[in-house]
Structure 1
Amino acid sequence: MSSHRLPTLLALLVVGAALGGVALVPATGVAQQQSGEVIGQPDVSFATASGEMIAGSRSELSIGITNRGKIDKGGPAQYEERVTTARGMTMEIDDSNGPIDVRTGQITVGNLPTGSTETTVPITVAESAEPGTYRLPIEYEYQFTRLVDYDPYGTDYGEFTRERTGSITVEVTEDARFEVVDTNMTAQIGDQSDVSMTLRNVGSKPASDASVVAESRSSALTFESGETSSNAFIGAWEPGETRTINYTVSLATDAARRGYTLDLSVNYADTDGIGTSAPPMTAGISTVDEQSFAFEDVSSTLRVGEDGEIAGTVTNTGPQTADGVVVQYADDSANVLPIEESVAVGSLGPGESASFELPIEVGSEAEAGAKSIGFAVSYRNQNGDRRSYDKLDVTADVAPERDQFDVSIDNATIESGGSRTISVAVTNNLDETASDVEARLFANDPLDTGETDTGYVQSIEPGETVEVTFELAASGTATPGKTYPISFDFRYDDADGNSQLTDTVRAPVDVVESEGGGLPVPLLVGAVLGIAVIGAVVWYRRQ
């Protein structure tokens, strides 16, 4: 090392010890075209880049960091840059003596050449913070090169570590501030619900043209518009004054049973007419299960081609009272048709039940057997709005088709060529009373009806049997020992007063020999014809 550099390096060793550390970097061996020294150091300062803070708020505080750098003895640019750069800089804000809470620990800035940079930290200003200016100390540390000594034989660096304390100031002002003081926030899955919240201006200044925006964090929770946010206008809002805001929310039918969060923001104009937003707030919405119903003790009297009913018990299995409950037929079968579309059962509290009966008509084209029939329950919810629960199916047995009336003939015989009065036992197979029953007899050759081919009965109860008489005749061509059919149909009024006509019911009649003796009618007819022919031949010959 040349003799002229020794005093300088010794002096720097003394300065380095005072500053807390020094390191000498030996020459690199790279040839230099000149020699000299560059002496300097960083010059770091801090400033607050954010505006005023409001008591009781959370926000981001922007801190500007500036390094102006100081050159005590200049030289080549690369060496001047080295001595003015703060390397590996870290900083930590001391918030122990004020109402401002800096919500971060040590901050790494990194290398800081001359110029400015900015970092952001989250802070909370206590609600109790008085308006004014608050100083926050900043403890920071970095490494730097105090001296660069260079000549044609190499370069030496004097390295130091520096710890310093700076500060920033934060101004806290009073303004309108808001907080949620009460809520009525319960929503039902699969339904619309009215919810409300009460907010108070806890600040010291009024707000004008205020509005509260509520935004759902879940797509399953929407507002009356179908969107996930809704804006409620408030207007003027004085300090200490409360406002209750009502929203209508909807929870999807597949929404999970859990709490849901609304983000709340109040936008307003301050006393200077400048638009601003209050610190954000949150409110929670609790949920209850979807309103539901169940059927129990279901029975069926359905039969192909007849009117019947489905009866059972409907139970409110949901969490809330349902008013105006109506059991509804909700199927689209072409062969199973409701006589009445619905039946009302009144109001049902949670767990309460009521019986119902719904008349159903089954067409003659329907097939017998078990059928799944769709039902629904209509009701009014807690807000008086009409709702429908359609997750209900009823399994009903449909019995095979049968004759509405059975007929049985006492002594079902008739003599060939004779006539008689027959007595027919008519039994009502229906599950209801048949009134104004008109029975009619039909017969085909060689049988025929007499003057009395209809009968009338005022009413026949279910399962009751009555006697109806008819006149029946058999021509002489009816063959003894052979069975011939006769038919009946019945026109009647059902329990609802509707006129019905049954299908044809057939019954057998046996033809027997005439008990009066003599030649049978065919033989007599043949004999008469023979005599006539013989007479005609004799007359012809005599002529």
Structure 2
Amino acid sequence: MKYTDGSKGQSKSRESILRSDTVRTLIVLSMVVLLSTAGVATTTIGTQAQSATGGDPDLEAYAPEPTLTPGNTETLTIQIANDATTRYDTPPERNRVTTARNVVVELDSSSAPLTVETAEHSVGSISENEPRSVPFTVDIPEDAEPGTYEVDVEMTYSYTSFRRSGGGENERTYTVTDTVEIEIDDAPQFRLTTVDDSGLQIGESGPLTIQIENIGGEPARNVALSLNSQSSMVGFNGQQSDVGRVDTLAPGEAAEITYETAVKSDASVRQYELDGTVQYTNPDGIDGRDTDLSTGIEPAAEQGFSLDIVDGTVRVDEETTIQVRVTNEGPRTANDVALDFAREYPTLRLLVGSVSAGTLEQGESATVRLPIAATRDAEAVEKSLDMRVQYRTDADEQRYDNDVSLVTAIAPRRDDFRVAASNATIGVDSSRLIKIEVTNNRNQTLTNIEASLGTSDPLDSDDDDGYIESLDPGESTTLVFELSATSDANPKGYAASIDFRYDDERGKSMMSETYQIPVQVEENDGLGVFSILPLVGVGLVGAGVTVYVRRQGDGLPWSA
């Protein structure tokens, strides 16, 4: 405000001057009093400022990484900073009046296309020098529209607004709301789906087809999908992970990648998780990653077979063909099924490489003929044989089931033939035709049977060979041999022998064991064959002489 004087330059009287001096004196005295009062007031105010302090926290919210991706559950981190102010400028008490205590932060996302899992967090105290980060878990739907949105951050806290050094504080509670911008990104984003795990069975390896789809808003190049198995029961070529690649995927486009996958034989029939990570290049040439992807697989039960003997017996020291029923226990069709030994046995062997049973549907059976040879050293016991069933899947992949048993009884050794002799009694120094009945003791037809009779002194034979064209199992025939005993034979029991060479059903030439034939030699009461030969000779000579005389009519030559 500006003040101005009211006189117009005219002279004043002394009285007026004196009156003026008096006024000036009073004014001066008043000013002195006022100045003194002002000094006292100033002193009082200064003293009060030095003994008290005040302040106000100022909380502000920020989003350091505001970009979110649709179709994911992500963490949105809100950072809270405190830009406080103070009154009376008293640094020793500054922290007391600027710290926000018992801070509660609440996130309101009603204006953005996302859902907050836990909207409210208590974070304790926030000072000027120590900002706090508050993580919020948010769900962003797959169909969230890309763009920039605002979310409200409401912060409620307590603080000391005034503090007097001699004691006493002023406590307040305050709520402030700040706005933070977030961005829903339209970058490439991916989804995994198991297309085909039908080729997977426990204990086997097979193809696994995974579909990868770009559900983001931008195309992706050089897309590499890494699958990682979370279970040691499932792997990829001996490893826990494998990588497949797709050149490009436009928004909304899908592609299939096939992985060769193996499931261990002791795995259970259940779902197994595969985690996926995608690396790609966006349209700006910047490399990106999409993690936390997953899909699942469920392998089928292990392919199983059962074996049962339908007919036939394995026998010691014999080649036998047994009939075995092969049943496909499932769960899938088995093509080109073949059966053989899973390991070598010292006394048993399969006479062919393997025996085919053809294609078997689940639950279907087929009967095969299994030729087995048991050596002479084989034991006559019940034995469980480890067998192997090989087959092909519908994808024409070779598979094996090595955990199949065939239980069979091994019968004791038996003779190839049964032999029985009749008329086997011979006089000393005589001969006789004996009959030997030969029976096929095998369970197969034998052909080209050549018999050979063996003798030793005092027995002998000039007719020791015989032949049988064929004998069916259990069939018998009779062979006749001439057998003689010498003149010096003692009356008692002796033994001749007979053995056979023959062809079995497979045309293989075999040699039988040797069979003993008991022969009884007895005293000869009459003339034996050898004792009457001289008499027969004399008789023949006499008969010749008689004929000669009759023809000459002159009598005997020496009678003249």
Instruction: Using structure 2 for the length normalisation, give the TM-score.
Output: 0.81
Q: 2:95 aligns with which of 74, 81, 84?
A: 81
CA distance in 2, matches of 1:399, 1:251: 41
Give the deviation of 1:76 after TM superposition.
Answer: 5.2
CA distance in 2, matches of 1:376, 1:279: 44
SS in 2 for 1:81: helix
2:250 pairs with 1:235: no
Aligned twin of 1:98:
112
Aligned twin of 2:195:
183
CA distance in 2, matches of 1:315, 1:468: 48
Give the deviation of 1:515 after TM superposition.
Answer: 2.6
Aligned twin of 1:107:
121
Which AA in structure 1 matches 2:215? V
Give the deviation of 1:255 after TM superposition.
Answer: 1.4
Q: 1:194 aligns with which of 204, 207, 214?
A: 207
Aligned twin of 2:467:
456
Q: Which has the higher helix share?
A: 2
CA distance in 1, matches of 2:189, 2:317: 74
1:133-163 Cα shifts (integer Å, max 9, x gaps): 2111112222222222113xxx333222222
SS in 2 for 1:450: strand
Give the deviation of 1:279 after TM superposition.
Answer: 5.2
Q: Conserved in 1, the CA contact under 8 Å of 2:309 and 2:408?
A: no
Give the deviation of 1:44 after TM superposition.
Answer: 1.3
1:379-427 Cα shifts (integer Å, max 9, x gaps): 0012211111122111112221121111111122111232223221111
SS in 2 for 1:167: strand
1:95-494 alignment runs, 5 A limit = 95-115=109-129, 116-151=131-166, 155-180=167-192, 183-186=195-198, 187-223=200-236, 225-278=237-290, 280-296=292-308, 298-447=310-459, 449-480=460-491, 482-494=492-504
SS in 1 for 2:94: helix
Which AA in structure 1 matches 2:483? L
CA distance in 2, matches of 1:363, 1:477: 44
Give the deviation of 1:323 after TM superposition.
Answer: 0.7
Which AA in structure 2 matches 1:462? P
Give the deviation of 1:327 after TM superposition.
Answer: 1.9
Give the deviation of 1:45 after TM superposition.
Answer: 1.0
Give the deviation of 1:331 after TM superposition.
Answer: 4.0
Task: Give ranges in structure 2 of 5+ residues lacking alignment.
Answer: 1-48, 532-560
1:236-293 Cα shifts (integer Å, max 9, x gaps): 2222322122222222222111122222332111111111113543222233211111
Which AA in structure 1 matches 2:212? L
Give the deviation of 1:210 after TM superposition.
Answer: 1.3
Which AA in structure 2 matches 1:410? S
Aligned twin of 1:27:
none
Percent of paired sites with the same residue: 34
Is the alpha carbon distance of 1:362 and 1:463 closer, same or farther for their aligned partners in structure 2, counting shifts above 3 Å?
A: same
CA distance in 1, matches of 2:194, 2:417: 72
Q: Conserved in 1, the CA contact under 8 Å of 2:309 and 2:322?
A: no
CA distance in 2, matches of 1:511, 1:432: 37
Which AA in structure 2 matches 1:393? S
Q: Conserved in 2, the CA contact under 8 Å of 1:298 and 1:394?
A: no
Q: Which moved more, 1:275-284 or 1:202-211?
A: 275-284
CA distance in 2, matches of 1:140, 1:351: 70
Q: Conserved in 2, the CA contact under 8 Å of 1:38 and 1:147?
A: yes
Q: Conserved in 1, the CA contact under 8 Å of 2:50 and 2:90?
A: no
CA distance in 2, matches of 1:167, 1:515: 143
Q: Conserved in 2, the CA contact under 8 Å of 1:185 and 1:284?
A: no
Give the deviation of 1:213 after TM superposition.
Answer: 1.8
Instruction: Using structure 1 for the length normalisation, give the TM-score.
Output: 0.83
Aligned twin of 1:510:
520
CA distance in 2, matches of 1:367, 1:57: 70
Give the deviation of 1:484 after TM superposition.
Answer: 1.5
CA distance in 2, matches of 1:56, 1:464: 85
CA distance in 1, matches of 2:455, 2:102: 119
Q: Conserved in 2, the CA contact under 8 Å of 1:36 and 1:75?
A: no
Is the alpha carbon distance of 1:451 and 1:352 closer, same or farther for their aligned partners in structure 2, counting shifts above 3 Å?
A: same
Q: Conserved in 2, the CA contact under 8 Å of 1:305 and 1:365?
A: yes
1:61-101 Cα shifts (integer Å, max 9, x gaps): 22222123222223353x22121112221211011222022
SS in 1 for 2:500: strand
Which AA in structure 2 matches 1:92? E
Aligned twin of 1:499:
509
Which AA in structure 1 matches 2:474? G
2:48 pairs with 1:43: no
After TM superposition, where is structure 1 displaced by more than 6 Å over at least 4 residues in a row?
none
Is the alpha carbon distance of 1:158 and 1:432 closer, same or farther for their aligned partners in structure 2, counting shifts above 3 Å?
A: same
SS in 2 for 1:288: coil
1:508-538 Cα shifts (integer Å, max 9, x gaps): 11111113269x99xxxxxxxxxxxxxxxxx
SS in 1 for 2:142: coil
Give the deviation of 1:181 after TM superposition.
Answer: 6.5
How many residues align? The count is 480
Task: Give ranges in structure 1 of 5+ residues lacking alignment.
Answer: 1-33, 522-543
Which AA in structure 1 matches 2:493? T
SS in 2 for 1:124: strand
Higher-Rg member (1/2): 2
Which AA in structure 1 matches 2:370? L
Aligned twin of 2:44:
none
CA distance in 1, matches of 2:352, 2:502: 21
1:277-327 Cα shifts (integer Å, max 9, x gaps): 135432222332111111245433221111112212211111111111112
Give the deviation of 1:182 after TM superposition.
Answer: 7.0
Q: Which moved more, 1:364-373 or 1:174-183?
A: 174-183
Q: Conserved in 1, the CA contact under 8 Å of 2:428 and 2:523?
A: yes
